[in-house]
Amino acid sequence: MKSFNVPTTYRSPLISEVKNRRKQQDKLKKDLSPSLLDFGDLKIYLARHFGFCYGVENAIEISFRTIEENEGKRIFLLSEMIHNPLVNADLIARGVRFLQDTGGKQLIPFSELRPDDIVLIPAFGTTLGIEKELRESGIQIEKYNTTCPFVEKVWNRSEQIAAKGYSIVIHGKPKHEETRATFSHASAGAPSVVVNDMHEAVILARYITGALPPESFYENFSGRYSEGFDVTKDLQRIGVVNQTTQLATDTQAIADFLRQTMKDYYRLDESQIGERFADTRDTLCYATNDNQSAVTALLNTPADLAIVAGGYNSSNTTHLVELCEEKLPVYFINSADKIISPEEILHYDYHGRKEVRTSGYLSFEKPVRVLMTSGASCPDAVVEEIIRKLSSFFGAEDLIDSAAGI
């Protein structure tokens, strides 16, 4: 796979050595067991896969190269490049300004743009409507479009099945930038609707079978269906695609459920299912799958707690937290600074959408065993800083530089 030129400050000699060693030992990525960093009274188990993915590194490389090559020009980001506070802060420090927030609220009107300005499209992509507005402002977006290739793959797959007469069901968080972008691209070619979770997929199935009155669909899915959507016709042939950072198992469960719904309702055998349901398994992102599979394997390791590093508004990171919290206490942090002391940690409660302070998070019999992973938009340098902070509490700082060889 292509290697990217990203700022060295995001790299970690420690993590790079660990990852390179595992890659040499397991080139086919079949061994999902974690890597152990043994600091005596502290044992840290790193997930087999974590950190920057292809799409994120691609977006970062394009962004920083654009800044270097266009000194003196006004450079804007449509919204956050990726969901990581360190990366976005670095871009702002270099003079980049955001046109919108992550919810799509306008911070700087497009009317203020000039044709010689540069606008970077983030890794999540954007809607066809926004692309049109930018072009009408004279902005050339193609050269500075960092949309992840795996997000574009979802769009392309949606277009393919739309051409065959299927409507599109999108599994995603309705307000997320990527979901908004995918909905825009999908609905340009076919009737489309967004479902947030299995609960909503079950409700959608009841419209497919006629168990719910058609008119209530427009209230239940308000703001999440395409213009002109006809619930009495547009759910007769469907395909499921996803926001690539969703839990892959959730997307597959929703797809399997809706497939079975179509099979039962229309009394189809396996050879006939394609008449009503499109196969879209190939839209699941490899990095999302790898990171989630690695965490599932990581959780087989006996441990006292887990630490997940990443941006608090990062969808893929949040799903890693969800997986971990099923097994043990988990602390979701975006930097080593959140580890206040051996007694206290400030971490994000994504259920309550706020930071909370917890005492006694390391209060276990020695050795303390910590599981660790990070989201696809989290620099490895952040993970190393967290490891160094934790190891300092156990007098193991001198072991860091040799830890990769353990």
Rounded Cα distance between 234 and 231, Å, is: 5
Rounded Cα distance between 265 and 389, Å, is: 57
The pLDDT of 276-288, averaged and rounded, is 81
Rounded Cα distance between 261 and 113, Å, is: 49
**Residue 23 CB burial class (10 angstroms; 0-12, 13-18, ≥19):** exposed
Average pLDDT, the chain: 93
Q: Are strands 305-309 and 368-374 parallel, antiparallel or unpaired?
A: parallel
Q: Pinpoint the alpha helices (H) of 43-143.
A: 54-69, 85-93, 128-136
Residues 225-275 have pLDDT tens digits of 999 999 999 999 999 999 988 888 889 899 999 999 999 999 999 999 999
Residues 2-61 have pLDDT tens digits of 677 888 999 999 999 999 999 999 988 889 999 999 999 999 999 999 999 888 999 999
With bands split at pLDDT 50, 70 and 90, how would you rate the model's confidence at 406?
very low
Q: Is the pLDDT of residue 289 over 90?
A: no
Rounded Cα distance between 238 and 271, Å, is: 16
CA separation (Å) from 271 to 12, 163, 205, 263, 267? 51, 21, 21, 10, 12
Q: Does domain 149-284 have CATH number 3.40.1010.20?
A: yes
Strand partners, 77: 98, 120
Residues 18-31 have pLDDT tens digits of 999 999 999 888 89
The pLDDT of 211-230, averaged and rounded, is 97
Q: Is the pLDDT of residue 143 over 90?
A: no
Q: Is the pLDDT of residue 84 over 90?
A: no
Among residues of the chain, what percentage have pLDDT more than 70? Answer: 98
For the chain, the domains span 8-53+287-405, 54-144, 149-284
In this chain, the answer to whether the domains covering 54-144 and 149-284 adopt an identical fold is: no
Question: Does residue 178 have an active-site annotation?
Answer: yes
Out of 131, 178, 200, 384, pick the active-site residue.
178
* Contact between 167 and 190 (Cβ < 8 Å): yes
How many other C-beta atoms can be found within 10 angstroms of the C-beta atom of residue 281? 11
Token representation of residue 127: 């809607």
Q: Does domain 54-144 have CATH number 3.40.50.11270?
A: yes
pLDDT of residue 404: 47
The pLDDT of 352-375, averaged and rounded, is 96
Question: Which residues are within 8 A (CB) of 256 and not within 5 positions of it... i.e. 6 or more apart?
Answer: none
| Contacts of 258-261 spanning 24+ positions with Cβ under 8 A | 258/169, 258/201, 258/204, 258/205, 258/208, 261/205, 261/208, 261/209
Architecture of domain 8-53+287-405: 3-Layer(aba) Sandwich (3.40)
The pLDDT of 363-391, averaged and rounded, is 96
Q: How far is residue 344 CA from its own chain's centroid?
A: 28
